[in-house]
Chains A and B, each alone.
Chain A
Amino acid sequence: MIHIDHVAIGCTDLYEASDRMRKETGIGFYDGGWFPPVGIANKIFPLGGQTYMEIESIVNGPKVAAMAAKGGPGADFFKKAMQSGEDVFTGLCLGVDSMEELEDLAKRHKSIIPDPHLGTRIRSSGTQFLAYQTPPATDCWPKGLPNWYYFTDITLHPSGQPVEPYPGLHRPTGISYIEMGGTEKEMTEWLGVPASTMPFKFNGKTKGVYAIAVKTEDGPEVIIRRKNIVELL
């Protein structure tokens, strides 16, 4: 079963952008930790309904620059995404419930499932729990296409962790819609299941994410609109 898992935003400074996002939306976040191989870290906003948003930026500039100089996969993309001077949607990540489903998707897209130990985030607590993906984000995100994830232990899913205390937070209860570029037909073709089964709205522009709307238990629907990185590449 394919479902929405998380949405990624790139920014210049994850601390400043996360604080600003919290003030703007009333949705809380916690420190997600860091990705050792790629010099990036994130803050995580649980959105309810087993979904979340991650705000990422570069925390190890020389590492990212060296990777980009070597032509490392995605390094140039992340460098542009996080140094564009503003927050940008960088990727949409779908979830599946089993490794078998992920393997089927890898086969259908003639792609691979990279070793998760190389790319999985290390939490602030020092623990690492594995997330498998296909096709790799570095292949899909620059094209404005979603990729798929399988989390080996759903009880540790990033969407279920508590946020930092902050006055007046709303409690998010799930994503009501995601505004995407492209068309429903194109998305259906990519997903292999009808795009109408997911909460997408299509604007016909360049593929990628343009906005997400989040329901809250005790407040209004929150709409987060940012630029689509693919338009800036």
Chain B
Amino acid sequence: MAMRLDHYQLSTRNIYATAQKLRDETGLGFYDGGYFTSGGIANKIFPLGQGCYLEVEGVVDAGIIDKDLGAKVFFDRTAEGECFSLNGMRVDTMEEMQALAKRFGSELKGGASRVRPNGPQVYGYSTPTGTHAGHAAATGEVTHPDRAGKVTWYYFPDMYLHPSGQPVFNWPGCVEPLGISFLEVGGTEAEMTEWLGVPAKNFPYRFNGKAQGLYAIGVNTSDGEKIIRRPSRQ
């Protein structure tokens, strides 16, 4: 099974302010990713190079927080500030996704999701459920405490429209992203290998032994390595 690094989620109360701040901090550029038709969520996307990206994501429909449990979880987990909330990997085919879903005894979620501001909806599929522990509990999905903070897999049928390949807004002094240099995650290499089903050493993971989740992203750029470090609340 071909497995690749794909994307990461940085949850925040204010996607505009966080995106601006992250650009100032790293020199990485972003573009407007659009919104999700359910949950009142929207994002800004930072291409990281080599088919990877970071989504700065948050609730943009304040009125929905009391009505939509998913939105409420998104809102609540940012009560103390920005946090990493997703570590996504990617496979190349639907057959591989189905195999993963079967392995975890999980459903395959997906279809049309995010609405881009300037183009067609993004089609994507993910599995397994439960890696967002708080979201799963709040929305009544079957909870799997053992999955909290772990990798979620994605499959995008239209790779030529992959979020990592879209152009960023003009901004003075933006650096060119050249791919992930490392990902600091909780747990151990043995645990990650067991979860992935392939050796974790095939990927640039660094393990800190803490609770499962994503803690830092290293990005190679035309201006050297940039490190994005945030608390993990997945």
Contacts and interface: CB of A to CB of B under 8 A. Distances in A.
B120 A156 contact: no
A50 B160 contact: yes
A50 B51 CA distance: 16
A171 interface: yes
B118 A159 contact: no
Most buried by A among B160, B167, B176: B160
A197 interface: no
Given A127-B176, A162-B119, A171-B120, A155 B162 contact: yes
Given A127-B176, A171-B120, A160 B162 contact: yes
Interface in A158-198: 159-163, 165, 171
A63 interface: no
A106 B213 CA distance: 46
Interface residues of B, number: 15
Contacts of B176: 127
B164 interface: yes
7 contacts: A50-B160, A154-B162, A155-B159, A157-B165, A162-B118, A162-B166, A163-B118
A100 interface: no
Contact of B165 (A160, A171, A217): A160
Contact of B159 (A154, A162, A165): A154
Nearest 8 interchain pairs by C-beta: A155-B165, A160-B160, A157-B160, A155-B162, A160-B161, A156-B165, A50-B160, A154-B159
Contact of A162 (B162, B164, B167): B167
Interface string B149-165: 00000000011111011
Interface in A19-43: none
Nearest to A126: B176
B158 A50 contact: yes
Report the contact-size class of chain A (Cβ under 8 Å from the partner): 10 to 19
Interface of B: 50-51, 118-120, 158-162, 164-167, 176
A1 to B, nearest CB: 12
A163 B167 CA distance: 11
Interface in A120-179: 125, 127, 153-157, 159-163, 165, 171
Given A162-B166, A162-B167, A153 B51 contact: yes
Nearest to B53: A155
Main SS at interface, chain A: loop
Nearest to A162: B118
Given A155-B159, A162-B119, A165-B118, 12 more contacts: A50-B158, A50-B159, A153-B51, A153-B165, A157-B159, A157-B165, A159-B160, A160-B162, A161-B167, A162-B118, A163-B118, A217-B120
Contact of A161 (B50, B51, B166): B166
Contacts of B165: 153, 155-157, 160-161
B119 to A, nearest CB: 6
Contacts of A162: 118-119, 166-167
Contacts of B167: 125, 161-162
Most buried by B among A50, A153, A155, A163: A155
B158 A155 contact: no
A174 B140 CA distance: 39
